[in-house]
Amino acid sequence: MTAEHSKHYRNVKYFLLNNINALQRVLRGGNVNFKKSISLFLLLSVFALTVTSGTVGQSTQEETRTVYYHGEEQGGLMVKVEAPYQAYPDEKINLTVEVRACTQRIYVLYMRLNISGLINERNETLLGSIAISDLEQFDLVFNKTYQYSYEILIPAEISPGPTYGSICYEWTCWDVPTEISPSGFPVTYVKNREYEELRNDYQVLNSTYWSLQENYTKLESHYSGELGSTRNMMYVLIVTTVVSVVSIFILIRSPRKW
């Protein structure tokens, strides 16, 4: 997320907070100004819909996923790399490399894996360089799975977005050499912590807003009934007052009997 987007969502947060606080003051007051309250609700509703339509859809959270796979069809060697689906800056991720000989006489010469990311959205930086030394010039046991785990630090200054991996390796199958040139693949998506916090704040504020709207509807119905009763009472009072004044005026003007 860019600085402009972060500023936009920060403004959303402050706007909703200020208006919800104002709405609470209106609802708690002794006299309810319905036209002002309704206008405030319409404004909040339109604004909430606008913000909701611009939120970023989130993928299903998964602990790990397979980010690279080479099947046994080529050279009888299976290679798989697994990594976390998502992570935050300044966190460590665990990469797992699995290798299995799917036929006899698999001899690995080397296997290397690099992980990269972007800083300032344009400058590529190397996050980790892995050389699986245990598999250098090594005869694999048929159908045995070799598993290796590596810890990679995601720098605090890395830009949100995908990190990338590159793997290359060479082996022989029945003395026939096979080589995989550097192959790139996406690894772990780096999330924007500030955006996530703002999104969570918005969800809380949005929930508070709808709760307040429900309370307001109840209060509006209640006060509307009270205002109707008060209006009727005022009419009765006016009529009673007029009758009383007229009666008093008649009594004053009538001749006294002693």
> Encoding tokens for residue 33?
């100004």
Residue 208 lies in a domain: no
pLDDT score at 246:
54
Query: What are the tens digits of pLDDT across the range 195-208?
Result: 877 878 788 877 77
> Encoding tokens for residue 105?
């006489």
Query: What are the tens digits of pLDDT across the range 95-144?
Result: 999 999 999 999 999 999 999 999 988 889 999 999 998 899 999 999 99
Of 96, 236, 32, 75, the C-alpha closest to 169 is 75
Residues 20 and 91 in one domain: no
Residue 81 contacts residue 64 (beta carbons within 8 Å): no
Q: Is 144 helix (H, G, I), strand (E, B) or coil?
A: coil
Q: Is 196 helix (H, G, I), strand (E, B) or coil?
A: helix
Q: Is 78 helix (H, G, I), strand (E, B) or coil?
A: strand
Domain count, the chain: 2
From CA 151, how far away is CA 148, in angstroms rounded? 10
pTM (predicted TM-score)? 0.59
Residues 155 and 97 in one domain: yes
Residues 50 and 80 in one domain: no
